[in-house]
Amino acid sequence: MPLRFVAVTFDAHHPVQLASFWARVLDRQNVEEAGGALLPGDETQVGLRFLAATSEKSGQNRMHLHLTSSSPDDLQHVVDTVLGLGGRHVDVGQLPGEPHVVLGDPEDNELCVIGPGNKFLAGCGFLGEVACDGTREVGLFWSDALEWPLVWDQDEETAVQSPRGGTKVSWGGPPLSPKSGRNRQRFRLAATDVAAEVKRLVARGAVELSARDGGVELADPDGNEFSVVPEA
C-alpha cells in the first residue's frame, strides 16, 4: 500500500487558535490532538495539522497554500474572510496587477488567493495547491514516493497530484529560499509498515533523521524534513 499524505504540519505558537482560523477559512472540521489540532483532509484535499512549537519564523516559508476562487467577487470574499479572521496583506515582491492576492495567516504563514480562470488549478478544489520551493529532483522524488503522477514538468518546475485529483503539490525550481534550521511546515505521511517505507524512501534519496512526532522523521533530497507515522 503506498504512503498516504495525511497533512501539511504547521509549527505554531498557538496551534489551536491557528487551526480554528484555517478551519473557518476552509470550512473544515477542527479536531484537537495532543499538542495541537488537525483539519482532516479527504481523498482529494490535503489535511492541515497544527503543532505547538517555540521556533520563530525566519524569512519566507519554503511552502505555502494556494486557495482558488471562482469569480472576482468570490476572490474578494475569500480575501475579506482571511482578513476578517486575523490575516493580513503580505508583500513578497509580487507585481501590481498579478491575478492573485498574497496574504498571511495570524502567524504570518504566507498564502495566495488565486484569481478565477486559472487553468492549472481548475478542478483542484478550494485548497488547490501546496506550492513549495524545490528542485526538479525533489518533484521526481515525491512523485515516486507517493505514487502520484507527475502532472507538470517544465523549466525545472514540477507538480504532482493524487490519481483521484484534488490538491496539487508543486515545486517552483531554483533558486530556493534559504533554509534556516528545521522547516516550520512539513509533510506528514502514514504507512502500514513504517520501517519498510523508510527503507524504500532512503533508497530513493531521502535521509533518515530520527524518531520524532510519533514516527520517523526524514529529509527529502532538498533537505526538507517530513515524517512517516503508523497508519491509524
Chain segment 21-68, per-residue pLDDT in tens: 999 999 999 999 988 999 999 999 999 999 999 988 888 899 999 999
Question: Residue 36, exposed/middle/buried by CB under 10 A (0-12, 13-18, 19+)?
Answer: buried
Write down the H helix ranges in 112-190: 136-146
CATH 3.10.180.10 fits 4-230, yes or no: yes
What's the pLDDT at 73? 97
What's the pLDDT at 1? 60
- Tell me the per-residue pLDDT of 110-132, one tens digit each, with 9 for 90 and over: 999 999 999 999 999 999 999 99
What's the whole-number average pLDDT of the chain? Answer: 95
What's the pLDDT at 2? 77
Cell of 92: 513578497
Dihedral-angle region of residue 144 (phi above 0 means left; psi in -120 to 50 means alpha; beta otherwise): alpha
What's the pLDDT at 39? 98
Domain ranges (residues) in the chain: 4-230
Please, which pLDDT band fits residue 179 given cuts at 50, 70 and 90? confident
pTM: 0.95
Cα Rg of the chain, angstroms: 17
Q: How far apart are CA 65 and CA 89, in angstroms?
A: 15
